[in-house]
Structure 1
Amino acid sequence: MMVSYHHKNSGQFEDICVADLDYAFTNVTLPDREGRWCVGVAEGKIVEIVEGDRLNAQHVWHLDGKLLTPGLVDAHTHIDKAFTAESLGDVFAQSGLASAIQAVRHLKSQFTIADIKQRATQALQWSIAAGTTAIRTNVEADAFVELRAVEGLLDVQRSLSDQIDIQLVAFPQEGWFAIPETLESGASTYVEQALQHGIKVIGGNVNQGLWSSNPEAQVDALFDLALRYNCDLDLHLDNWDSAEAFTLPYVAQKTIEHHYQGRVAVSHIASLIHVSDSQAQVAIELLKQAEISVTVLPTRIKLTRVAELLEAGLNVVCGTDNLRDPFIRYGDADLLKALFLLAQLTGYMANRDLERLWQTISNNAAKMLRLPYGINVGNLADLVVFDAYSIPEAILHQATRLAVFKSGKLVAGTMQDQVLSLHKPDFMSPRRWT
């Protein structure tokens, strides 16, 4: 039997014999289909999806109804600073914001390329084990770390390319402009140099509550650079508990003005909860027109208007954010835990709501990163096998990731060529999740 799949890049079709399948996952539950299915993989791609248990391959996994999903997508991280929390301890609580920022800058000035690579690799190994097959991470470029994080993360991006897709964002953590006698140190030159080194996304840290310079001027400068280098934008925005730090409408307007719809993401936007409901609705409508993705970061606890953004149909994304650094001293790079926390903070408990939240670490996140995605014929076999029978069960019970595949290669997990036992009590049987 021959199957045919379409190469999206070349536009050509290729026939593959089912007998040549590398893997077949039989009797699986898929997130967006009713019933049980069989998924065939060859040469790193999904080449066949049929109902039931009807494919043969070199390696066959009979999954007895377990959940098979596309790889998870973590759209917002900071792995260049991962595992540095103990270097400064509880500096933000003990010293105040200004002193803490100076302490972190001193710490960054001591980073070496080797140190950054070692910590980032460890963070990514944790992500992979948790089922993440694509990730976007901010990479700081400024007068303190200079380009060492850029060089280190570009090396890691290459060395782990067969295990995880890594998008790098040139991030001006220390502010865009250099304003004497203020905290804003100016990172624009370093960010542009990072682009010249090969980074494809420009970050921003636009926060009127923190910096002295005009936030609209920062946004204008960021768009100017993005247009010159044809780069997407991913902005930390309005991360301040005050209605005064509200640059969100301006970002949306500039996105529309520059025809950058679908190429801009914003994170945090905490001030959206402090403006009036009418102001918020105007801003949300602008976001929708601008096709801006919004990243929410539940480990920060203080969330924006997540439910309203979802109800408006915006592309809402969830990320794990910082990992055991001075900004967030905990975490384990597990998107499923971040999603569980997001469900608690939003009060989402119904199955349909949990399935909607699931999109924030799967389809929505892939859309933000502009990646082909999903269990579809012709896509890369980036797959995760969960010890669960449904999306709600996977979230609520923090299901074990039994196996993680990147382009058809097993990169994490301990799945064997046999039926896997759930080892769960009767009250967690699959009948509860149908």
Structure 2
Amino acid sequence: MHIINARLRNREGLHDLHLENGRIASITAQTGVPTLMAGDLDAAGNLVIPPFVEPHIHLDATLTAGEPRWNMSGTLFEGIECWGERKATITQEDTKARAKKTIQALAAHGIQHVRTHVDVTDPDLTALKAMLQVREESTHLIDLQIVAFPQEGIESFRNGRELMGEAIRLGADVIGGIPHFEYTRDQGVSSVKFLMDLAERTGCLVDVHCDETDDPHSRFLEVLAEEARSRDMGARVTASHTTAMGSYDNAYCAKLFRLLGHSGISFVSCPTESIHLQGRFDNFPKRRGVTRVNELLEAGMNVCFGQDSIVDPWYPLGNGNILRVLEAGLHICHMLGYRNLQNALDLVTDNSAKAMALGDRYGLQAGRPANLLILSADSDYEVIRSQGLPLYSIRNGKVLMKRQPAQVEFM
């Protein structure tokens, strides 16, 4: 297959992509007028990019909003309570059905790489066992990383450490944590040291829900970053949310950023969910409740955006469209300046792939998997402005999904 008239990010002119045996055989600058052969695709001057990446979602909890009750306060903590009640009733079949429905929605919006956090504070590990099956049964649509996520704590949940170890033995890819939810600061610190020890022993990646609170005294990020720095594990470690950073004073942040830069860790922000959950204890003014996305980027750190939730106890909306989250995040984080808009797709593509350590399994380069999208616009700016969905999603060199643009006729 050839894709002709393709516009590539950060390159001039149009290009021809040759896909063969499930891989990108070559990418060449076009000269003259190309011929469209049977089986080829014409990008018509639109952007061709690697697939969108979802670096942070909870597929085990998806599509459970209102079950058994709604989160009336809109807080993170009531969401955890609601999920605890729903978790008591889940089955593997229930979990698989909901997760697969959401994966289809993600794939329909051009996402082919997903990292899902799965609650392992369950003696039976029901959701984890279901998601391990989903990972194998969904390879035609996505590549799935599974995080062993201790929703109710490692130290504060009975047998939390043992459950984390068992989750990794069963096949989870990534080790999670939630230090700010442990009963005490000492427990939070010990949970970070435990999970980093486990990651070092097993070779797993790390993705920690870290300081997801407005409390400016929640400072487990410095603990995680120093553990990553001292063990030389930064490339394998992601700090998710870090919303407390939005409440830190600037003097502390100036010191913290030095450590973060040396650590080499990545960051995931889920802006639509954070602005919904945080600031709930404020009257006015109300804080935005997101981390310092633009400041981290300007300091040279790797930051990406995730959806976090789709119709669950923490967030009642969502449809799998990460461009919706990207646009909202740019607004929320004051990132609608010219330079921000020229590179905005990094936040849902390359930066996310780096956080997930996809390496040479991702990207438009000869020899890499022929996984890519043909978008409906010719630049980052126009993709965001128009919110145009992908026209084609190609996976392993074959068309996975195609979309007809909406037609409007005035009468």
Distance 2:354 2:212 in 1: 23
**Residue 297 to residue 186, structure 1, CA distance change in 2 (3 Å):** farther
Establish whether residue 398 from structure 1 lines up as the match of residue 377 from structure 2.
no
Where structure 1 has 5 or more consecutive residues not aligned to the other structure, the ranges are 1-22, 179-183, 416-420, 426-434
AA in 2 matched with 1:239: E
Q: Match for residue 357 of structure 1?
A: 344
AA in 1 matched with 2:183: W
Distance 1:98 1:303 in 2: 17
Establish whether residue 78 from structure 1 lines up as the match of residue 58 from structure 2.
yes
Q: Match for residue 154 of structure 1?
A: 132
**Residue 99 to residue 290, structure 1, CA distance change in 2 (3 Å):** closer
Q: Match for residue 188 of structure 1?
A: 161
Equivalent of 1:69 in 43, 49, 56: 49
Equivalent of 2:400 in 386, 397, 411: 411
Distance 2:252 2:234 in 1: 21
AA in 1 matched with 2:348: I
Q: Do 1:141 and 1:147's aligned partners in 2 also have CA atoms closer than 8 Å?
A: yes
Q: Match for residue 303 of structure 1?
A: 290
**Residue 28 to residue 99, structure 1, CA distance change in 2 (3 Å):** closer
Q: Match for residue 342 of structure 1?
A: 329
Q: Match for residue 14 of structure 1?
A: none
**Residue 43 to residue 56, structure 1, CA distance change in 2 (3 Å):** farther
Equivalent of 1:331 in 315, 318, 325: 318
1:172-183 paired onto structure 2 within 5 Å? 172-178=150-156
What percentage of aligned pairs have identical amino acids?
A: 29
Q: TM-score scaled by structure 1?
A: 0.85
Map Cα deviations across residues 381-425 of structure 1 (whole Å, 9 max, x no partner). Answer: 11111111111111111112111111112222237xxxxx89699
Distance 1:92 1:117 in 2: 27
SS at match of 2:235: coil
1:29-428 paired onto structure 2 within 5 Å? 29-52=7-30, 53-54=33-34, 58-93=38-73, 101-143=80-122, 146-178=124-156, 184-185=157-158, 187-207=160-180, 211-212=183-184, 214=186, 215-299=188-272, 300-301=274-275, 302-371=289-358, 372=360, 373-414=362-403
Where structure 2 has 5 or more consecutive residues not aligned to the other structure, the ranges are 276-288
Distance 2:78 2:10 in 1: 49
Distance 1:272 1:99 in 2: 22
Distance 2:122 2:114 in 1: 26
Distance 1:185 1:103 in 2: 19
SS at match of 2:208: strand
Distance 2:37 2:168 in 1: 44
Structure 1 residue 133: Cα displacement = 1.0
Structure 1 residue 366: Cα displacement = 0.6
AA in 1 matched with 2:195: L
**Residue 205 to residue 138, structure 1, CA distance change in 2 (3 Å):** same
Distance 2:406 2:339 in 1: 24
Distance 1:241 1:308 in 2: 18
Q: Do 1:234 and 1:264's aligned partners in 2 also have CA atoms closer than 8 Å?
A: yes
**Residue 311 to residue 65, structure 1, CA distance change in 2 (3 Å):** same
AA in 2 matched with 1:74: E
**Residue 101 to residue 69, structure 1, CA distance change in 2 (3 Å):** closer
**Residue 77 to residue 57, structure 1, CA distance change in 2 (3 Å):** same
Distance 2:292 2:81 in 1: 32
SS at match of 2:73: helix
